[in-house]
Structure 1
């Protein structure tokens, strides 16, 4: 039997790496019946059912799912409005609720802010959907457009989890902290804007916890997910340099990008008040960031697999 607050039947689309695999483990540990949908490139953890299908092929996805139905679908890999269209059509009548993992980058089109942005700063329902752009969607725009598809259909209960920048774990495939650590070790310049502005972050385990928690609730609409507290690239460099013997962070201000990861020329933070009011208790970034920095600067032999 599932633990209190955990859904009974869950479909996870994607989710075979980083916080997705942690989410699946939490669901299984809670006693949920989990079906993982992917193209077959990686098997799900033991205990999860596996449906092999290309989500971009609507007919194949319908056929592979058969008559399966779910309490909730957790979509980890919806990147375009076309994928959202297919998902909405295929899962209508199959699930009571659809949770899409979105991103802080949906706020890229919002005017400069002086404080953390609430969900209302980007209204997906008001965004015209462009299913055939002249150029491929950027990551942020693809997510904005995908959110817009779900938001346009209130009869299809959905959630867009707008995730902050995720840090932690030796399986972080992005290489963003490694970029800084490598340059600090060698004294190579680190490109930053003339004025470095802060952003928000979330630990890899915390976002897995948040998605697990969201799966067991009933709310819909967009929700911001970030730890409490602001951090900028200069502070990240300082923390990393303190852990690297002889390391030196050489910040080089350049008038235009590209900048180093997390080096922003605008205030780039989200307000997590909605999720907090709904009952989720976020951690303080300052409580977990030192451990993440320590792991990112440890010699390779000292880094475990977590």
Structure 2
């Protein structure tokens, strides 16, 4: 039995992670602001993770084998929790994102189109950290989401209080109404209604992961392995926006209607004109086995179509 603390863990794959860790017999503690209580048998610490004094007080004398941080978005948050958990855990796993590789958000080494992007393309050991930026402002944070994640990884990597690993997640799908971003529902609704889908003139593929697979990988990263540094998490296979729309069309019986957007224009989710599809080779070498996106996507689409069913026009 491991003592696992999950920061966040109140929805989607974080909630599933908590449920599966508890079902596997681990002692689980959830830290969030109290708006969502965890399942029975899970300890709950209701506290704002951004309030360092309150977080330390809530923790009391608690110690854990591993922390899984689902909701760290800035270097300021990372610095607070690194100090709060110093001496309380041997391992810290942070959920990060494919967006750290987006070449439109930072000066990154060029990767040829068609070559999967490896973890070393963003090295947190060398990444510059600036905690004096307005990370507390919601608009700034949203506009600098990828950079906030990169800098958060850098803070934890340089802290020597515990072993640190980051899981850079691909775009997450599945779960029907649980998929709170609404990105897959966007396609289900637009195609069902015959509404236009805005795409780039030349769309590039990206990578995805099912929310259940991501929950499994996070639990694996927490307790089944001792790797440090970043690891990419994506199912096998590539998919572009037209492929995704075709899968939705097969479920709805309606053909997608595409509208090409000029360079710099706003497109529908998952239409990309920049290449940053990740490689999952490192995770495989460490022992994790991925599914193929082609095996689970039709079921994920069917769930979403059912959840967001709209009468055809």
Q: Counterpart in 2 of 1:5?
A: none
User: Contact 1:10–1:35 at 8 Å: present in 2 too?
Assistant: yes
Matches within 5 A, 1:64-83: 64-83=58-77
Q: Counterpart in 2 of 1:140?
A: 146
Q: Counterpart in 1 of 2:179?
A: 172
User: Contact 2:188–2:308 at 8 Å: present in 1 too?
Assistant: no
User: Contact 1:159–1:222 at 8 Å: present in 2 too?
Assistant: yes
Cα distance, 1:241 vs. partner?
Answer: 1.1
Q: TM-score, normalised by structure 2?
A: 0.91
Q: Counterpart in 2 of 1:276?
A: 284
Q: For each residue in 1:66-115, what CA deviation from the matched residue of structure 2 results, as whole angstroms up to 9, or x when unmatched?
A: 00000000000001110000010011100000000000001113355321
Cα distance, 1:155 vs. partner?
Answer: 4.7
Cα distance, 1:298 vs. partner?
Answer: 2.4
Q: Counterpart in 2 of 1:25?
A: 19
Cα distance, 1:153 vs. partner?
Answer: 2.3
Q: Describe the SS at the equivalent of 1:96.
A: strand
Q: Counterpart in 2 of 1:153?
A: 159
Q: Counterpart in 1 of 2:246?
A: 238
User: Contact 2:87–2:161 at 8 Å: present in 1 too?
Assistant: no
Count the aligned residue pairs. 294
Aligned partner (choices 237, 240, 263) of residue 229 of structure 1? 237
User: Contact 2:94–2:167 at 8 Å: present in 1 too?
Assistant: yes
Q: 1:81 to 1:263 in 2, by over 3 A?
A: same
Question: Partners in 1 of 2:238 and 2:308 — Cα distance?
Answer: 29
Question: Partners in 2 of 1:139 and 1:275 — Cα distance?
Answer: 24
User: Contact 2:82–2:161 at 8 Å: present in 1 too?
Assistant: no
Matches within 5 A, 1:2-17: 2=1, 8-17=2-11
Question: Partners in 2 of 1:112 and 1:183 — Cα distance?
Answer: 34
Cα distance, 1:39 vs. partner?
Answer: 0.9
User: Contact 1:112–1:266 at 8 Å: present in 2 too?
Assistant: no
- 1:291 paired with 2:285, answer no
- 1:188 paired with 2:195, answer yes
Q: Which runs of 5+ in 1 are unaligned?
A: 3-7, 302-306
Q: 1:112 to 1:251 in 2, by over 3 A?
A: farther
- 1:44 paired with 2:38, answer yes
Q: Describe the SS at the equivalent of 2:89.
A: coil
Q: Which runs of 5+ in 2 are unaligned?
A: none
Q: For each residue in 1:202-222, what CA deviation from the matched residue of structure 2 results, as whole angstroms up to 9, or x when unmatched?
A: 001000000011111211110
Q: Describe the SS at the equivalent of 1:191.
A: strand
Cα distance, 1:142 vs. partner?
Answer: 1.1
Q: Describe the SS at the equivalent of 2:30.
A: strand
Question: Partners in 2 of 1:204 and 1:241 — Cα distance?
Answer: 22
Over aligned residue pairs, what C-alpha RMSD do you find?
1.4
Question: Partners in 2 of 1:219 and 1:112 — Cα distance?
Answer: 26
Question: Partners in 2 of 1:196 and 1:229 — Cα distance?
Answer: 16
> 4+ residue runs of structure 1 moved beyond 3 angstroms?
none
Q: Describe the SS at the equivalent of 1:124.
A: coil
Q: 1:191 to 1:111 in 2, by over 3 A?
A: farther
Cα distance, 1:139 vs. partner?
Answer: 1.6
Cα distance, 1:180 vs. partner?
Answer: 1.1
